Amino acid sequence: MFLLNLPRQVLSLDPLPAAGPDFGSVVGDDAELVEMEPETRQEVLENKDVVVQYVHFDGLGRTKDDFVMYEIGEVFKAKNLIDVMRKSHEAREKLLRLGIFRQVEVLIDTCEGDDALPNGIDVTFEVTELRRVTGSYNTMVGNNEGSMVLGIKLPNLCGRAEKMTFQFSYGTKETSYGLSFFKPQPGNFERNFSVNFYKVTGQFPWSSLRETDRGISTEISFPIWKTSHTLKWEGVWRELGCLSRTASFSIREQSGHSLKSSLSHAMVIDTRNSSILPRKGALLKINQELAGYTGGDVSFLKEDFELQLNKKMIWDSVLSASLWSGMLVPIGEKPSSIADRFYLGGPTSVRGFSMYSIGPQSEGDYLGGEAYWAGGLHLYTPLPFRPGQGGFGDLFRTHFFLNAGNLCNLNYGEGPKAHLRKLAECIRWSYGAGIVLRLGNIARLELNYCIPMGVQSGDRICDGVQFGAGIRFL
Amino acid sequence: MSLVADAFVSQIAAAEAWPENAALYQPLKGEQILLSDNASSLAVQAFLKMCNLPCQVICRANAEYMSPSGKVPFIHVGNQVVSELGPIVQFVKAKGHSLSDGLDEVQKAEMKAYMELVNNMLLTAELYIQWCDVATLEEITEPRYSSPFPWPLNYILAYQKRWEIQRKMKAIGWANKTLDQVFEDVDQCCQALSQRLGAQPYFFSKQPTELDSLVFGHLFTILTTQLTNDELREKVQNTETLIDFCRRIEHNYFEDHVKDTSTSDLLRLPKGPSMH
C-alpha cells in the first residue's frame, strides 16, 4: 500500500542504508519508502496512472547533461507511481555507480505550473559531485605481501565519468606506480575503455628472481548476455635479474631484457553472491593470451581457466569446489621465459606446500612450469558454538579442505594422451582444516593446519600450521 | 661484495679443483660484442690459457645482464660465478694457480701499477671511442650493442648505456677531451708499455703474468678490429715491440688451439673480424 500526502507534500525516496553512496544494496526493494504526515488528507495512489513530466537535476557542475540523460531516461517511461519510484531508484543506483557523485537524493513531487497535468509528476535528483581531485591512502594485502598505496584520483575529468588515477605503492617487497585513464560508454557503464602506464617491481624469493616491468596496456570491457569480456593489448618491457649472488645459474641465464607484446581475451561469468566466502553461485574465468604477433621478442600462446562452484548445505555450511588449469605453448625456437610460466603451491593454492614451491627447480630456485592444474574441495562451516553470531563472529568460518595439483613441463611433440599422463603422475595433494577470516569484500586471511601428501623431491613443504593472506584462493 | 663474503667464496673455491666444464661467457661474437668487451674477454681467455686451465667460451646475447657485476666477461666454475679479470685472478689464485707468485713485492707493485695504467688508459680510451665519438657510435657501437633487442628496446637500452658511459667519462674528466687527445693518451700508454717491455719476451722476463694477458687482450683486439678509421690501430702499430709481443702470445697460447672454435677465427694477424 502506497500513500501520498496531498495536495503537496514532498516524498523523499531514500531506500539505501545510511552508510552513504555504497551501491551494494538490493535493487527494487521498495517496501520502506514512505514518509507520512498522518494529519492531512490521504489518498491511495498505488494503481493510479501518472505521467512523469519533468526530471530536474540539482547540483550538476561539470557533469555533462547528455551524459546523465542516458542514466535517467527510463524514469520517463514509468506509468504509475510505484513504477516511478522503482525507476527513480534504479536511476539513482546507476548514477552512484558512475563514481562521479558523492550523494544522490531523489525527490518525487506533484507537478505544478501552467502546463501541469492533473496526474503530472516531477522527479528531482539532488546530486553532490565528487571533488575534482581526491587523494587516498590505504594499505593493501596482496598474495602474501602488504603494501601502502598512495593514490590521486581525478574523477569525472571531462564531465562524462572519465577517470584518471595515479597510484604509487610502496610495499614490503615491491615499489611500483601506475597511471590510468578510464572512460565508460555513456549510458552503458559496463562497456568501457582504459589505458594504463605502469612500472612494477617484484621480488620472487622462491625463484631468487627480481623482475621490473614497464608497460602500456589498453583494454576494452563489454558484457555479452551474462558474461563479461575484456580485450587487451599489452606491451611490457621486462627486466629480469638475480635477487642474490647465490641464485642458481638457471635463473642467471634468464637475466636481461625482453619485450612482450600480447593480445589477450578474458571472459568471466560470476553468479556468486560475494567474491570472498560466497554462499552460492559459480565463477568461470577463461583467459587467453597470444604474445609475439604484434612485436616484441617473446612468442607464446597461453590459456588458463578458473572454475568455482558453491553449494549451500545444512547448518549454514557451504561446500565449495574449484579447479584451475593452464597451459603455455612457446611459439618458435625460443624456450619460454621464467616470467611467463605458471607457479603452484602455497597457502593460496595447494596448501601445505611453500609459496610457489612445487615442480621444476634448480638448486632450490623454482623455475615454474608450462602446464598445471589444481583442484580444491572445501567445506566451510560457521565457528563451533557460533560465538558472536550476527556480528563479528560472522566474519569467521572454519573450513576443511582437500587440495591437489600438479605443475610440469610438457613435450609438445608427444600428443595429448602423454600430456594427460604426465599431468596425472606425481600429483601433490594435501588436506587439513583451519579458520578463515574475511576482510571486507576483497581479501581473506587463513590459518590452517595442513598435511601435505604426494611430496616430490625438490618440493618445499610447510607441514603443520600455515598462514595465508590473499585475494584469489583455490 | 663484502670482505666476509669474499673470504668465504675464496675458501669454498679453494676446496674444489678446477672443473673440466668451466665456461667463460661473453656477448655474441659476430654481431654484438664491442671492442672493449672483446678486449676484456680476450684478456681473461689469455690469462686462463697461461694458467693452463681449460675454459669453454660461450656467447650469449644477455651476457652483460647475467654477469653479477654487469660487466663481461664472467666465468662459471662449479657453482661459482666471477666477473672481470681482477676478481678472476684472485679466484684462480684461491684454487692454487697463479702467474705472479714468482715475483717479489716490488715487482708485484709494479705489475699492479701497469695493469692500472692499461685499465685507465686503453680501456677508457676504447670506451671513449665507442660511446663518445659520434661517428663510431652511430656506425658501429649502437647497431652492434642493440642488435639482440626488438624495437623500441634497442634504442632505449643503447641510449641508457651511452648515458651511463658518458656520465662515467664526465666523472673521470674525459668528457671534454677531443678524439686526438685520446689518441695521444693511447700513444703515450703504448710507449710506456713498450719501454717497460724492452727486449724481454714478457713484462717480467721469461714467464707471463696477468699483466701480459691484459695487455695482449687489449692490443690484440685493437690491432684486429676494423673501426671507422685506422688511427687507433696505427698508434699500436707504431710500436714494433708490442706487435711482436702480441704475435708471441698468440703463437704460444692460441695457435696450437686453432681448432678450438672459440678463438680460431679471431687470432690471425693482421686480418681479423671486421666490426662492420
Across A384-398, average pLDDT:
80
CB-based contact A255 B1, cutoff 8 Å: no
Residues A229 and A344 in one domain: yes
**B59 CB near a chain A CB, below 8 Å?**
no
DSSP tag of A315: G
Task: Determine the Cα–Cα distance for residues A257 and B150; give it in Å rounded to an integer.
Answer: 10
Contact between B66 and A245 using a beta-carbon 8 Å cutoff: no
What pLDDT score does A58 carry?
87
DSSP state of A252: H
| DSSP-assigned letter for residue B141 | I
Three-state DSSP class for residue A396: strand
> Are the Cβ atoms of B81 and A363 closer than 8 angstroms?
no
Residues of A in contact with B149 (CB under 8 A): 257, 259, 297
Residue A17's pLDDT band, with cuts at 50, 70 and 90, is: very low
B23 touches chain A (CB under 8 A): no
Res A198: pLDDT:
93
Q: Where is average pLDDT lowest: A13-17, A285-289, A290-294, A452-456?
A: A13-17
Phi, psi of A423 (to 5 degrees): -70, -20
User: Residue A449 — very low, low, confident or very high, per pLDDT cuts 50/70/90?
Assistant: very high
Q: How far apart are CA A324 and CA A227, in angstroms?
A: 19
How many domains, chain A? 2
- pLDDT, tens digit (0-9, with 9 covering 90-100), for A422-438: 888 888 999 999 999 98
Would you call A391 helix, strand, or coil by DSSP?
coil
One domain for residues A112 and A250: no
Q: Does B151 touch chain A (CB under 8 A)?
A: yes
pLDDT at position B1: 47
Per the domain annotation, does A23 fall within a domain? Answer: no
Residues A111 and A192 in one domain: no
Which chain B residues are closer than 8 Å to A249 by Cβ?
Answer: 76, 79, 81
Beta-carbon contacts of A54 under 8 Å, excluding residues fewer than 6 positions away, are A111, A122, A123
- Does the domain at B3-95 match CATH 3.40.30.10? Answer given as yes
Asked, colleague to colleague, whether B3-95 and B105-255 share their fold, the answer is: no
Q: Where are the domains of chain B?
A: 3-95, 105-255
Report how far Cα A337 is from the mean position of its chain's Cα atoms.
Answer: 27
Q: Is the pLDDT of residue A332 over 60?
A: yes
Mark whether A266 and A401 lie in a shared domain: yes
| B161 close contact with A: CB closer than 8 A | no
Chain B environment of A295 (Cβ under 8 Å): 150-151
What pTM did the predictor assign?
A: 0.80
Of A240, A255, A259, the CB nearest to B153: A259
Q: Which residues of B touch A245 (CB under 8 A)?
A: 1, 5, 68, 81
CB contact under 8 A, A295 and B156: no
Kindly determine whether residue A297 and residue B60, on different chains, have CB atoms separated by under 8 Å: no
Yes or no, beta carbons of A256 and B66 under 8 Å apart: yes
Distance of CA A63 to the CA centre of its chain: 27
Domain's final residue, options A109, A129, A149: A129
Does residue A391 fall inside a structural domain? yes
In a domain, A16, yes or no: no
User: Is there a contact between A255 and B62 if contact means CB atoms under 8 Å apart?
Assistant: yes
What mean pLDDT comes out for the span A112-132? 83
**Interface membership of B2 toward A (CB under 8 Å):** no
Burial class (CB in 10 A: 0-12, 13-18, 19+), A76: middle
Does residue A461 carry a pLDDT above 80? yes
A295 and B150 within 8 Å at the Cβ level: the answer is yes
End of a domain among A93, A112, A129? Answer: A129
Confidence of residue A31 (pLDDT cuts 50, 70, 90): very low
| Domain of residue A345, residue span | 185-470
Pick from A304, A428, A407, A403: nearest CA to A347 = A403
Tell me if B270 sits within 8 A of B224, measured CB to CB: yes
Residues in chain B, pLDDT under 70: 1-15, 256-276
Reported residue count of chain A is 474
Query: Do residue A316 and residue A428 come from a single domain?
Result: yes
Taking a C-beta distance cutoff of 8 angstroms, is the pair B161, B148 a contact? no
Does A278 share its domain with A401?
A: yes
Asked if residue A310 and residue A201 are part of one domain, the reply reads: yes
Query: CATH top-level class for B105-255?
Result: mainly alpha
pLDDT at A57 over 80: yes
Question: Does any domain span residue A123?
Answer: yes
Judge: B65–A237 Cβ closer than 8 Å, yes or no. Answer: no
Is residue A376 located within the same domain as residue A246?
yes
Shortest distance between the Cα of B73 and any Cα of chain A, in A, equals: 14
- Point out the domain boundary residue: A92, A107, A129: A129
A452 part of a folded domain: yes
- A125/A211 same-domain check: no
Among chain B residues, CA nearest to A258: B149
**Nearest residue, CB atoms, B66 vs list A255, A296, A363:** A255
Task: Write the residue in B5, B61, B65 that is nearest to A241 by C-beta.
Answer: B65
Give long-range contacts, CB 8 A cutoff, 24+ apart: B95-99.
B95/B13, B95/B14, B95/B16, B95/B17, B95/B18, B96/B14, B97/B18, B97/B51, B97/B52, B97/B53, B98/B51, B99/B47, B99/B50, B99/B51, B99/B207, B99/B208, B99/B209, B99/B210, B99/B213
Residue A75: CATH number of its domain? 3.10.20.310
Q: Which positions 65-84 of B are in contact with A (Cβ < 8 Å)?
A: 65-66, 68, 76, 79, 81
Query: For position A265, what pLDDT does the model report?
Result: 95
Do A110 and A241 fall into the same domain? Answer: no
Residue type, B260: D
Q: Are strands A428-439 and A396-408 parallel, antiparallel or unpaired?
A: antiparallel
Mutate to test the interface with A, among B24, B81, B145, B159 (most CBs of A within 10 A): B81
Please enumerate in sequence order all residues whose Cβ is within 8 A of that of A128, keeping only pairs 6 or more positions apart, or say none.
Answer: A59, A101, A102, A103, A104
CA distance, residue B69 to nearest chain A CA (Å): 10
**Contact between residue B56 and residue B22 where contact means Cβ atoms under 8 Å apart:** yes
Q: Residue A299: what pLDDT?
A: 93
Quick count: other Cβ atoms within 10 Å of Cβ B180?
A: 9
Confidence of residue A85 (pLDDT cuts 50, 70, 90): confident
> What is the 8-class DSSP label of residue A411?
-
Over residues A334-360, the pLDDT tens digits come to 889 999 999 998 888 899 898 898 988
* Cβ count within 10 A of residue A159: 17
Whether residues A220 and A119 share a domain: the answer is: no
| B185 phi and psi angles, rounded to 5 deg | -60, -45
User: In A321-427, which ranges are continuous DSSP H helix?
Assistant: 416-424
Non-local (6+) Cβ contacts of A261 within 8 A are A233, A234, A235, A236, A291, A292, A293, A294, A295, A296, A298
Residue B118 per-residue DSSP state: I
Contacts of A413 (CB under 8 A, 6+ apart): none
Nearest-by-Cβ selection for B68 from A240, A245, A253: A245
Q: Is the pLDDT higher at B171 or at A74?
A: B171
Asked if B4 has any chain A CB less than 8 Å from its own CB, the reply is no
- Residue A13's pLDDT band (cuts 50, 70, 90): very low
* Alpha-carbon torsion angle A238, A244, A247, A250, nearest 10: 20
Helix (H) or strand (E) holding A70: helix A65-72
Q: Which pLDDT belongs to residue A215?
A: 93
A233 belongs to a structural domain: yes
Q: What is the pLDDT of residue A27?
A: 38
Q: Give the distance from residue A361's alpha carbon to the nearest chain B alpha carbon, in angstroms.
A: 15
Task: Considering only the beta carbons, identify the residue of B60, B76, B150 that sits closest to A297.
Answer: B150
Q: Spell out which residues of chain B touch residue A256, defining contact as CB-CB under 8 Å.
A: 61-62, 64-66
Residues in A touching B81 (Cβ below 8 Å):
245, 249, 252
Check residue A111 and give its pLDDT. Answer: 80
Q: Do A203 and A122 sit in the same domain of this protein?
A: no
Q: Cα–chain-centroid distance for residue A22?
A: 16
Which set of grid coordinates corresponds to residue A302?
Answer: 597461453
Q: Is residue A7 part of a domain?
A: no
